[in-house]
């Protein structure tokens, strides 16, 4: 049964004439890792805002465990696209704060756990730096460590690795898989990404959005058994076919939108 459910959800921001999300229906099962890909501006972050309870839908219904989503809650950890850390707290203290807020650890134990989380994301020697003293990719890694500290059942992640360099990205993807599988019940993850390979490596299903307003164009089941091995995956014929299918879905939509604007001229 679906844990997260979006039923004909639309969102028009105040003052806008065009919806950011239009009639979006999507069901995400408990323990599922769903990736969302789609062109810039198609409403991916807006959908995260709705699922997080930070924004209210103009129409339609969003539920978590059959209960309407009306506000943010500790059951959902959000990694924002702009990795919003508290600028007045060091990297370590940002994570300590999350551990204490979620009640997972206090005092010395929280500082030790925060140190381990920073080490996991490769930033143990930056623990006393403030966000303003870190690079974009480093800030993003602190934000991920902070989200991991929350140990929530649902993760809403908006391009969490977008600003991270290739080497760290690969290890963070594997870290995310560890977090997902966890020790008890699997977490439910809604992951927005621009990286098709990332989606194919991580996800159970991939929702390809239309260019906008946000709707699902196609849901793709990722057929590869786990654990997935990058090296073998990229050589698998089905991987290459799925990758091409997603690319052509994205390109087709962009092309169609362009044709509408241009009246089809010159293509």
Ligand X SMILES: Nc1ncnc2c1ncn2[C@@H]1O[C@H](COP(=O)(O)OP(=O)(O)OP(=O)(O)O)[C@@H](O)[C@H]1O
User: Per rule CB under 6 A, is residue 42 in the interface with ligand X?
Assistant: yes
User: Per rule CB under 6 A, is residue 45 in the interface with ligand X?
Assistant: yes
Residue nearest to Mg ion (CB): 45
Spell 54-91 as b/e; 16+ CB within 10 A means b. ebebbebebebeeeebeeeeebbbbbbbebebeeeebb
φ, ψ of residue 219 in degrees (nearest 5): -105, 130
**Residue of 5, 45, 47, 94 interacting with Mg ion (CB under 5 A):** 45
- Number of amino acids touching ligand X (CB under 6 A): 12
Of 44, 34, 67, whose CA–CA distance to 189 is shortest?
34
CA 114 – CA 126 distance, rounded (Å)? 12
CA 233 – CA 224 distance, rounded (Å)? 8
Q: Tell me, residue by residue from 58 to 87, as one string, x for binding to ligand X by CB under 6 A and - for no binding.
A: -----------------------x------
User: Per rule CB under 6 A, is residue 17 in the interface with ligand X?
Assistant: no
User: Per rule CB under 6 A, is residue 51 in the interface with ligand X?
Assistant: no
**Residue of 41, 68, 72, 74 interacting with ligand X (CB under 6 A):** 41
Of 205, 146, 137, whose CA–CA distance to 171 is shortest?
137
**Residue of 10, 43, 161, 176 interacting with ligand X (CB under 6 A):** 43
Stretch near Mg ion under the rule CB under 5 A, chosen from 8-16, 51-59, 81-89, 176-184: 81-89
User: Per rule CB under 6 A, is residue 16 in the interface with ligand X?
Assistant: yes
Binding partner selected for residue 20 from Mg ion, ligand X, none, CB under the kind-specific 5 to 8 Å limit? ligand X
Q: Which residues bind ligand X (CB under 6 A)?
A: 13, 16, 20, 38, 40-46, 81
């Amino acid at each position: 049964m679906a844990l997260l459910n979006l039923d004909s959800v639309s969102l028009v921001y105040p003052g806008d004439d065009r919806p950011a999300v239009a009639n979006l229906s999507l069901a995400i099962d408990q323990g599922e890792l769903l990736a969302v890909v789609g062109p810039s501006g198609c409403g991916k972050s807006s959908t995260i805002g709705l699922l997080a309870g930070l924004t209210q839908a103009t129409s339609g219904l969003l539920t978590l465990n059959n209960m309407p989503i009306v506000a943010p809650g500790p059951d959902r950890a959000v990694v924002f696209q702009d990795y919003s850390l508290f600028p007045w707290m060091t990297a370590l203290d940002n994570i300590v704060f999350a551990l204490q807020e979620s009640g997972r650890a206090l005092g010395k134990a929280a500082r030790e756990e925060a140190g381990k989380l920073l080490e996991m994301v490769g930033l143990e020697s930056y623990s006393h730096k403030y966000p303003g003293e870190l690079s974009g990719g480093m800030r993003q890694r602190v934000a991920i460590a902070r989200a991991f500290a929350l140990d929530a059942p649902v993760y809403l992640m908006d391009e969490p690795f977008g600003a991270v360099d290739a080497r760290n990205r690969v290890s963070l993807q594997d870290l995310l898989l560890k977090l997902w599988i966890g020790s008890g019940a699997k977490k439910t993850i809604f992951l927005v990404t621009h990286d098709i390979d990332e989606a194919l490596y991580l996800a159970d299903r991939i929702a390809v959005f239309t260019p906008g307003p946000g709707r699902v164009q196609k849901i793709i089941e990722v057929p590869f058994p786990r654990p997935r091995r990058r090296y073998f995956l990229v050589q698998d014929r089905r991987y290459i076919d799925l990758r091409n299918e997603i690319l052509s879905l994205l390109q087709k939509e962009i092309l169609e939108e362009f044709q509408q604007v241009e009246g089809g001229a010159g293509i």
